Amino acid sequence: MAGTPRKKTIKAAPKAAPAPRAADSVNRVYAAIQRMAVNFEFRPEQRINEVELAATLGVSRTPVREALNRLVIEGLITLVPNKGFYCRPFDAEQIIGLFEVRASLERLSVELAAERASDVRIAELMDFWNGVRANRAAMDAEELTSRDEEFHIRIAAMGGNPELVRMLESINARIRFVRRIEIENPQRRTTTFDEHLAIAEALKARDRGRAVACMSDHIGISVADAVSAMKEGLARIYMGRMAS
């Protein structure tokens, strides 16, 4: 091992290196596959071909498998031993179940925020949402879904419980597909703006009970609409993107 001119010449020589360097592929790959799974770019229950996916992403199977293993725990991918990784099923009951859990956590979220958030953070929240509201005409459903999630996550973050934030983010990823379709509905979109403002007002007033009530109403309506959104979602997955 002595006189090994370790890195130096090595780096310089392979100008047209075949497989040059290693970075943190896993995180890139993880993010990429996560996005695909969230958006159901894999069909439900479809087997995910590792070699193909690895080729698409320009890496070997190793980081792909590590990323897939993470996504299994996240509930975005399932694993059947000796068969492979599969896209999660499109399971209406499961989605309803996630909405149910989410409602519970969002309740905790506003309770904690009402108790612990600083006035400044609450003011920022209102500014943020008023800004979104002002720009709403320029936003498509994707962007608006993102802002909607951000609104909720901000409230969770104000409660000072990072685990709560993590779990909500995880749930959001799994129901985003449905929520985006919900938000496409113009009427639903309008009520969302009002409901968010009502929640923010209640927080500003430190009215914990009202905040919880507003949040419950808000999420409750979501669940009601989710069913029709899921139908539409199924159509898009299996029939392509033309619709609305």
Partner DNA sequence: TCGCCGCAAAGTGTGTACACTTCAGAACAC
Partner DNA sequence: GTGTTCTGAAGTGTACACACTTTGCGGCGA
- Tell me which residues touch DNA (CB under 7 A): 1-8, 10-11, 14, 17, 19-26, 47-52, 54, 59-63, 65-66, 79, 81-85
CB of 32 to DNA, least distance (A): 13
Q: Strand ranges (DSSP E) for the chain?
A: 47-48, 77-80, 84-87
- By CB under 8 A, is residue 27 in contact with a copy of itself? yes
- By CB under 8 A, is residue 34 in contact with a copy of itself? no
Kind and range of the H or E run holding 127: helix 119-134
Tell me how far apart the alpha carbons of residues 171 and 137 are, in angstroms, rounded to a whole number. Answer: 27
**Which of DNA, a copy of itself, none has residue 74 at its interface (CB below 5 to 8 Å by kind)?**
a copy of itself
- By CB under 8 A, is residue 50 in contact with a copy of itself? no
226's CB contacts (< 8 A; 6+ apart) are: 95, 96, 99, 175, 178, 179, 182
Per CB under 8 A, the segment of 3-11, 50-58, 93-101, 197-205 that binds a copy of itself is 93-101
CB of 88 to DNA, least distance (A): 16
- Give the number of residues in contact with a copy of itself, rule: CB under 8 A: 31
**Which of DNA, a copy of itself, none has residue 223 at its interface (CB below 5 to 8 Å by kind)?**
none
**Measuring CA to CA, how many Å separate 8 from each of 4, 12, 178?**
10, 6, 52
Tell me how far apart the alpha carbons of residues 244 and 44 are, in angstroms, rounded to a whole number. Answer: 21
- By CB under 8 A, is residue 4 in contact with a copy of itself? no
